[in-house]
């Protein structure tokens, strides 16, 4: 077959196929189904506004145990790190030198008393002679002065005995406070001195209650004072910080959230100009000895009374430049936009939201907020709502 004939046959076959396709029915394009999204209704919760800070724990009392007298340590009566009560015996010094000094002081007292008796008898004798005009006045005055001198010496001797007995008492070194004791820095056989060179024997820290110190910035302090002023009423004076009984919560490095609580009982009397902060102190019970002085903690202080607030998942809030908004469904499951104002973030990932501006419509528990599938949702287009379990919702109506 020639080339021209082949071209003619191909053209005829093409025309026939075009004719056949034009005679069939038209097929309509399939309409896409609305995308599936997960929705959730806003919740109403009672929340309290907080400020958060970093702090450290500290012992409520710390005592350095030192000896008041000189002597050799005869015994150590505690175990390193144990809990002690006030008055518990910690160290014993060799008591024999102190007992010998007491005996010597008593002997000196006996000697002085004997001299006093002799001086008293001499005074009586000189007075009798003077009354009989057989002695001079100067001899009587000397006898009286001698008797008074021995009176004074006896009083000095008695005080010396009291001092020696007190030294003997000090040779038994006891705990001045209750708390946790450190290790013994000097052990049996060591000589301890009293005075300017007295060595440190050990330390005791009182950890119940435990103190929590943290610094508050000046702005937060002013805001909190204004809040307390509004609570006290116009014309009222702010109560002292320890009388206000302001609660606080704190968490250790291993804690989830802020499970521990106490009361703020002290604030410094000035703001530190170099940092613009003021130091506050809180006190918390530590009867279980869970907190150790020097630990780092996270502190949270309430700055408002509890109030009712609307909360939604923080992941549901989108940004449009400086505006925040959420995507809702209307009664026809069509996506609409609602601008909001973000509040505090809660521990479970929920965020407090308010109306974007005064007078604007706020979220309510009847609304349906898109939480998952936000990238598939388009404003003014319908979607298929699903609950958290993946079940389809028939309508956005409550």
Note the pLDDT of residue 126: 86
Note the pLDDT of residue 232: 66
Once rounded to an integer, what is the mean pLDDT over residues 126-133? 85
The rounded radius of gyration (Å) of the Cα atoms in the chain is 46
The better pLDDT of the pair 394, 223 is held by 223
Does residue 232 fall inside a structural domain? yes
Does residue 21 fall inside a structural domain? no
Once rounded to an integer, what is the mean pLDDT over residues 333-348? 90
CA 216/CA 54 separation, integer angstroms:
9
Same domain, 254 and 298: yes
Q: Is the pLDDT of residue 132 over 80?
A: yes
Task: Looking at mean pLDDT, say which of 9-13, 220-224, 232-236, 315-319 comes out highest.
Answer: 315-319
Note the pLDDT of residue 28: 55
- Residues of the chain with pLDDT > 90, as a percent, come to 56
CA 34/CA 333 separation, integer angstroms:
10
> Residue 158: which CATH number?
1.10.287
Q: What's the DSSP call for residue 375?
A: G
Same domain, 101 and 118: yes
Mean pLDDT of the residues in the chain? 86
Once rounded to an integer, what is the mean pLDDT over residues 214-241? 75
Among 8-12, 204-208, 306-310, 314-318, which is the least confidently predicted range?
Answer: 8-12
- Bond prior to 209 in cis (omega within 30° of 0): yes
Take residue 389 and report the two structure tokens written for it. Answer: 């379990």
317: containing domain: 37-47+307-386
Question: In terms of residues, how long is the chain?
Answer: 398
pTM of the model: 0.68
Residue 154 DSSP SS3:
helix
The secondary structure element, H or E, covering residue 191 is strand 191-192
Same domain, 381 and 314: yes
Note the pLDDT of residue 246: 83
Once rounded to an integer, what is the mean pLDDT over residues 88-108? 94
Once rounded to an integer, what is the mean pLDDT over residues 120-140? 86
Once rounded to an integer, what is the mean pLDDT over residues 77-104? 94
Same domain, 115 and 165: yes
Residue 71 DSSP SS3:
strand
Domain end, chosen from 302, 330, 364, is at: 302
Q: What's the DSSP call for residue 374?
A: G
CA 16/CA 348 separation, integer angstroms:
70
Domain end, chosen from 141, 170, 199, is at: 170
Same domain, 314 and 297: no
Bridge partners (DSSP) of residue 345 are 351
Domain end, chosen from 170, 196, 226, is at: 170
Number of domains in the chain: 3
Q: Is the pLDDT of residue 344 over 80?
A: yes
Does residue 30 fall inside a structural domain? no
Same domain, 296 and 311: no
Bridge partners (DSSP) of residue 281 are 213, 266
Note the pLDDT of residue 6: 54
Same domain, 103 and 145: yes
Among 15-24, 25-34, 281-290, 383-392, which is the least confidently predicted range?
Answer: 15-24
Place of tokens 């309509």: 28
> Residue 272: which CATH number?
2.40.30.170
Once rounded to an integer, what is the mean pLDDT over residues 246-251? 91
Q: Is the pLDDT of residue 296 over 90?
A: yes
Beginning with the edge strand found earlier in the chain, give each strand of the sheet holding 191-192 in spatial order: 172-174, 89-93, 71-76, 191-192
- DSSP letters, 296-337, are EEEEEEE-S--EEEEEEEGGG-EEETTEEEEEEE-TTSBEEE
Kindly indicate the confidence band of residue 397, based on its pLDDT and cuts at 50, 70 and 90: very low
> Residue 380: which CATH number?
2.40.420.20
Same domain, 285 and 318: no
Does residue 32 fall inside a structural domain? no
Closest CA to 260 of 317, 300, 224: 300
CA 238/CA 226 separation, integer angstroms:
10
Same domain, 295 and 331: no
Write out pLDDT tens, residues 260-277.
999 998 888 888 888 889
Kindly indicate the confidence band of residue 129, based on its pLDDT and cuts at 50, 70 and 90: confident
- Residues of the chain with pLDDT > 70, as a percent, come to 88
Note the pLDDT of residue 353: 92
Write out pLDDT tens, residues 17-57.
444 444 555 555 667 889 999 999 999 999 888 889 999 99
Kindly indicate the confidence band of residue 13, based on its pLDDT and cuts at 50, 70 and 90: very low
Once rounded to an integer, what is the mean pLDDT over residues 353-373? 90
Does residue 29 fall inside a structural domain? no
Note the pLDDT of residue 18: 47
Beta-carbon-side half-sphere exposure of residue 284 (alpha carbons within 13 Å): 26
């Amino acid at each position: 077959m020639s080339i021209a004939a082949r071209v003619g046959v191909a053209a005829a076959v093409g025309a026939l196929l075009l004719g056949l396709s034009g005679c069939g029915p038209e097929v309509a394009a399939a309409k896409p189904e609305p995308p599936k999204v997960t929705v959730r209704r806003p919740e109403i919760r009672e929340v309290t506004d907080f400020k958060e800070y970093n702090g450290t724990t500290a012992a409520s009392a710390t005592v350095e145990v030192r000896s008041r007298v000189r002597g050799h340590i005869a015994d150590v009566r505690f175990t390193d790190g144990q809990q002690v009560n006030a008055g518990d015996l910690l160290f014993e010094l060799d008591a024999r030198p102190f007992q010998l000094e007491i005996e010597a002081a008593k002997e000196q007292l006996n000697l002085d008393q004997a001299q006093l008796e002799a001086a008293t008898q001499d005074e009586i004798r000189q007075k009798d002679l003077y009354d009989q005009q057989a002695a001079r006045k100067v001899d009587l005055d000397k006898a009286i002065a001698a008797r008074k001198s021995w009176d004074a010496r006896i009083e000095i001797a008695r005080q010396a005995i009291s001092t020696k007995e007190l030294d003997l008492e000090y040779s038994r070194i006891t705990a001045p406070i209750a708390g946790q004791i450190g290790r013994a820095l000097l052990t049996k056989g060591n000589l301890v001195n009293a005075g300017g060179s007295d060595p440190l024997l050990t330390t005791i820290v009182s950890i119940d209650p435990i103190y929590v110190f943290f610094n508050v910035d000046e702005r937060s302090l002013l805001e909190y004072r204004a809040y307390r002023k509004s609570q006290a009423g116009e014309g009222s004076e702010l109560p002292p910080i320890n009388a206000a009984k302001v609660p606080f919560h704190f968490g250790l490095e291993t804690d989830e959230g802020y499970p521990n609580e106490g009361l703020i009982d002290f604030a410094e009397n000035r703001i530190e100009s170099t940092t613009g902060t003021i130091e506050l102190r809180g006190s918390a019970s530590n009867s279980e000895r869970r907190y150790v002085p020097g630990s780092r903690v996270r502190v949270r202080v309430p700055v408002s009374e509890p109030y009712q607030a609307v909360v939604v998942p923080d992941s549901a809030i989108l940004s449009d430049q400086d505006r925040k908004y959420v995507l809702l469904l209307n009664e026809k499951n069509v996506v609409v936009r609602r601008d909001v104002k973000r509040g505090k973030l809660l521990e479970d990932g929920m965020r407090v939201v308010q109306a974007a501006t005064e007078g604007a419509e706020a979220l309510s528990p009847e609304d349906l907020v898109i939480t998952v599938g936000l990238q598939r949702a388009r404003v003014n287009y319908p979607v298929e709502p699903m609950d958290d379990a993946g079940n389809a919702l028939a309508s956005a109506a409550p």
